[in-house]
Amino acid sequence: MTANQTLSPVILTNQDHERLSAFVASRPGPPADSSELLEMGLNRARIVDPTQIPPNVVTMNSRVIVRDEGSGKTQIFTLVYPGEADISVGKLSVLTPAGTALIGLAQGEVATWVTRDGQTKKLTMVEVLYQPEADGRFDL
């Protein structure tokens, strides 16, 4: 594997886990690095009912502030499924290394991965600005 993510435990809703597992299973051929990382995250996740997910944990369709620890730059992203991604408007695919690293992280946790060219990247999950489950939205 050319990319590697720090394997800290994550929390996922059963809906996110089910949808993302189906997505990974539906990908034809050998897994790409990003879907392999996502699958690793799914395999180590603590799965909870959407009503039980803490409001400071990144779920699908969450809007978050993250800080790149290399540059110190902060950015706001909404974590989305690949077909909805548009980085120009801040919609980050869960299938990108950064998206895969963020799903299931709590505020203050740091996601670490190694890029294809051997660089270590670190993102700190600064704040969840919006989480669908905290807003009573379980159908996204």
**Average pLDDT estimate for 108-132:** 89
Mapped onto helix, strand or coil, the DSSP state of residue 127 is strand
Domain boundaries, the chain: 4-135
pLDDT at residue 117, as a whole number: 82
Its pTM stands at: 0.80
Across 94-131, b (16+ Cβ under 10 Å) vs e yields bbbbbbbbbbbbebebebebbeeeeeebebbbeebeeb
Q: Which of 24-28, 48-52, 72-76, 112-116 comes out lowest in average pLDDT?
A: 24-28
Tens of pLDDT, residues 59-94 = 999 999 999 999 999 999 999 988 899 999 999 998
What amino acid occupies position 81? Y
Q: CA–CA separation, 140 vs 132, rounded Å?
A: 7
Predicted confidence (pLDDT) at residue 96 exceeds the cutoff of 80: yes
The CATH code for residues 4-135 is 3.10.50.30
Tens of pLDDT, residues 10-34 = 888 888 888 888 877 776 654 455 5
